[in-house]
Structure 1
Amino acid sequence: MTTNIRIPRRTLLKGIGAAGLGSVLAPLSSRPLYAASVAPITIVINQSPWFDSFRRTVEAYEAETGNKVELDVNPFAGSLEKQRNSVRASQGQYDILIMNSGWFTEMYGGGFVDSITDIDPGFQLDPDLYTLNDTIYYNAEKKSLTSDGKLMSIPVSPLIPMLYYRGDLYKEAGLEVPKTFDALEANAKKLHNPPSMYGIVQRGARGPATVSYDFYPYLYGFGGNIFRNQSEGDFTVTLNSEEGRTALDYYIRLAKEAGHPKTAANDQANVIQAMVTGTAGHVMMVISAASQMDDPDKSAVVDKVEYAVPPSAPGLPTAPALGHWLAGISRNVPDDRKRAAVEFLRWFQTKAAQLETAKAGGIPVNAAVYKEPIAEERQYRWMKPLAEALPHAVNSYQFPQASEVIAVLELGLNRAVAGEIGSVEALNGMAGEIEKIMAGYNYRTGQISPL
């Protein structure tokens, strides 16, 4: 059921306490007050672990500027459906679209969002803002996500998977933080003591972007990829390479030998639950769940979870996949609402605003925040490893039909993890289906030799 949440002006970040309020207000007062009277805007957004921090940041914006924002909050798939319906209407219902990495190119390529600098030629990107593989830009002529294109969006949440591990158990067992997949596997087996403790808990369920997203760091970390070179327009399918097989065999072996017995049914909520209840030694999931680890109302492992960059094969860099969210401005809304949306994004991208996001439990999109004293505090211990990993993040899809490819991966990977088919059959089958999709849209594509 869709929830419409109206965010009224209220005391800034209500509930964080007088001391916290003072620390937040200090940087706000040094920032210029943005347009005091712009049109109200509506933002369509998904319900997620990072939503509350976004909501609280919006509250801060309203309190500072007097501008009004309405949030239309939906499940993951519901948010996409609402966005697609709105941008195709004669007049859009939503001014700002919070777009996931799996569908923002659909919005760019379809002409459904306006360039921010077309709306306001004077708009300047904060120099410390993460551009996340330049996914905030789009070159319509080249159909590429490159910085020579127009500025189409501002990052909202720079999500990538990170390795969560039980620091207390590592200390007891004398383990070192794993940098390679071999080390991760050895550590997971060392901690594996089912049913009270699983060495690692992984996602394997089929969903909008579930098992595929959790598989990407393994695929890329072993040197594999879905396509040969998207940036150069070469969509030859390489998923079923030797590197791809190594990655999938490894993912399945972890589940069987050091993982949860029902990995094929695990969704994100199951993975988070396993970690906060103290039954997982490791998980690899988006960093937005970190705030739950130290929440005494949710977690039995407060102050026991540590964070590290995702491992990789020897000689290869860490390669977490972007699962980020971007904010774009709908093309089919009135000009006054477009201008109001620009004002919000102008404010949102700043270091001061992003410090508030961090204090509210969110993940900052401004690199300057990661250099602030806050990064040294125990509760923000995820910030340094995240800052180390973000420059290596991989954007999985650079074309509008990504959701069709993801659907193929979701089914094939789920069946492989469940043991319904072997890894070779799964990879060859998915590769064939993906090639058909790309050929159907006249991309330059093909396949490597089957395994």
Structure 2
Amino acid sequence: MPASLPSNTPPGRPGDPPGTGATWRNKERREPMLTLNRRALLAGTALVWAALPASAASFLDVGEQEPISILINSSPWYGGFEAVVDLYVEQTGNEVSIDATPYAGVLEKARNAVRTAESPYDILNLDQSWNIEFYQQDVLRPLDEVVAGYALPPEVITCGDSYFWNPEKNFRTREGGKLMAVPPNCNTHVLVYRSDVIETPPATYDELLTACQAAQDRPNLYGFATRGERSQGINYDYMPFMLSYGAKFVADAEAGDYTVTINSPEALAALQQFLAVQRSCAPDNVGAMGQGDVIQLMAAGSAAMVETVVAAWANYTDPTKSAVVDTVAAAPMPEGPAGRGVPIGNWHFTIPRNIPDERAQAAMAFMQWFLTRDAQMAYAEAGGIPVRSDVIEELSAEPEYAWMKAYATNLAAGVQALGFAEGASVDQVMALRLNQALIGELSPAAALNTAAREIEAIFAQSGRQTGTLPALAE
């Protein structure tokens, strides 16, 4: 880093008082095993593979880099990421600072970072419902501007192509789009169940309702639960039902048709099924349950089935946290009348424009290292969710990683359900109205009709071609 740090540098950078903010990981620098031509690196040429010992045969030798700071969410998969960062520091001697922030605070910090003269962060981890805002504002560096000609390794999962941005179409698409980010995960739901209670996991949502009612012994054992609190979580956990019933938020966003379709008969049938399962089988306070509550319910052995993101898996297999280590299993999401519906809820490692080139190169070096096969293996072994298909395929054959088969099945059906700039605002509307339906303040039809009118207003304010379907009978 430069000797004189910008005033907006996060606490914890070298020279700041110790113990006051982001955590720096560092190691006494040592000679790299293969010297990297730093002039070539700074000119934007590709990094080279190093002749490393067998224990690190596929790791990338990035050479000596400037320290970097990463803004990331403190989430169920954070422990795996923290472990792989420590491995990077150990292998390279390069310093990394992590600012692990609760979900609700990440967006504000990221917005502030790109609006200042110089970002305090070198990598911003952005949720899939936020990143379009940053793409549109041109505050992030396309990755091939940092390393000329850079493309994702073919084994890396592109998670519905949300890492690409086509400014002419104003849409996230690989077709004509620039690569703007790399995946730290490609999160999807899985159906988590206790194999000692559920002999055969349900294949459909009708079977899910029947199985959860049969399995439960309230209040000792609940048949099923997923998030119900008034946050984006309830909308995300409703989406598998919604998509599997053939419903969606808008008619055809990529083609520019933003007619709101969330109050369709299909969306209503999906919501009615979602409510039936939650009200029949979840705890009475499901309307206030967040992700941590649902995870704890299964980890304590108090639920027969839960719907959680795959990134939560390590919580179920850690013997210090879980009572179901030997019986927990994962299955693909059930199917509805339209098949299997899986929303992708992935994150994006991005590089802000407003940092010096040397810091951008250092950020890129870390991201390239992170996507190597061996780094992804280490990530998975530490509890992270790998983003390489070869790693998923190899590990899924091992009993302790059998959950990856369900993950791979869900990925094949995964879509970006909120793939438009107004996604975060739509999320907020849906969170409120779905929660009101769950706790009985609104009927299912009234909740969807109200949401449709409010979402139409959001699109109209953005200048979209929009409208709504006829109102559902309330």
TM-score range, shorter chain: over 0.9
Q: Deviations over 1:16-67 (max 9, x none)?
A: xxxxxxxxx9765323643311211110011011001001111111222222
2:245 aligned with 1:217: no
Tell me which residue corresponds to 1:446: 467
Match of 2:162 in 1: 135
2:398 to 377, 382, 395: 377
Gaps of 5+ in 2: 1-10, 12-19, 29-51
Q: Following superposition of structure 1 onto structure 2, how do residues 196-215 of structure 1 map, counting pairs within 5 Å?
A: 196-207=220-231, 209-215=232-238
Residue 220 of structure 1: CA displacement?
A: 0.5
Q: Which of 118, 125, 128 in structure 2 is aligned with 1:91? A: 118
Which residue number in structure 2 is paired with residue 7 of structure 1?
Answer: 25
Q: Does 1:410 align with 2:410?
A: no
Aligned partner of 2:323 in structure 1 is 300
Q: Residue 37 in 1 paired to residue 64 in 2?
A: yes
Q: What is the rounded CA distance, in whole Å, between the counterparts of 1:111 and 1:389 in structure 2?
A: 32
- Deviation per residue, 1:118-153 (Å, 9 max, x gap): 121132321100011111100111111111200000
Residue 189 (1) aligns with residue 213 (2)? yes
Q: Equivalents in 2 of 1:410, 1:288: separation in Å?
A: 21
| Number of aligned residue pairs | 431
Q: CA deviation at 1:210?
A: 1.4
More helix by share: 1
2:180 aligns with 152
Q: 1:17 matched to which residue of 2?
A: none
Q: Render the CA deviation track for 1:145-200: whole Å, top value 9, x for unaligned.
A: 111200000000111111001111123xxxx2211111111111111210001110
Does residue 1:331 correspond to 2:353, yes or no? Answer: yes
Code of the residue aligned with 2:22 in structure 1: it is: N
Distance 1:328 1:313, change over 3 A: same
Equivalent residues of 1:28, 1:352 under 8 A apart: no
Indicate if the aligned counterparts of 1:255 and 1:261 stay in contact, CA closer than 8 A.
no
Structure 2 SS opposite 1:433: helix
Tell me how far apart the structure 2 counterparts of residues 317 and 214 of structure 1 sit (CA, whole Å). Answer: 17
Which of 254, 258, 263 pairs up with 2:277? 254
Could you list the runs of 5+ residues in structure 1 that have no partner in the other structure?
11-24
TM-fit CA distance, 1:399: 2.2
Larger radius of gyration: 2
Residue aligning to 1:431: 452
- What TM-score, normalized to structure 1? 0.92
Task: For 1:402 and 1:77, locate their aligned partners in 2 and report how far apart those are by CA, in whole Å.
Answer: 16
CA distance in 2, matches of 1:293, 1:26: 34
1:359 paired with 2:401, answer no
Deviation of residue 380 (structure 1)? Answer: 1.0
Change (3 A) 1:170 1:432: same
Matching residue within 415, 434, 437 for 1:394: 415
TM-fit CA distance, 1:87: 0.5
Matches within 5 A, 1:260-271: 260-271=283-294
Looking at structure 1, the residues matched to 181 and 287 of structure 2 have their Cα atoms a distance apart, in angstroms, of 35
Q: TM-score, normalised by structure 2?
A: 0.88
Query: Which runs of at least 4 in structure 1 moved beyond 6 Å after TM superposition?
Result: none
Verify: 1:161 aligned to 2:189, yes or no: yes
SS of 1:157 mapped into structure 2: coil
Could you tell me which residue of structure 1 aligns to residue 341 of structure 2?
A: 319
Report the alpha carbon displacement of residue 106 of structure 1 after superposing the two structures with TM: 1.2
Cα pair 2:72 2:101 within 8 Å, conserved? yes
Given that residues 33 and 64 in structure 1 are in contact (C-alpha distance below 8 angstroms), is that contact kept between their aligned partners in structure 2?
no
CA deviation after TM superposition for structure 1 residue 317, in Å = 2.8
**CA distance 1:376–1:95, shift in 2 (3 Å):** same
Shift of 1:378: 2.1
Cα deviation for residue 384 of structure 1 reads 1.1
Distance 1:284 1:33, change over 3 A: closer
Q: Percent identity?
A: 36
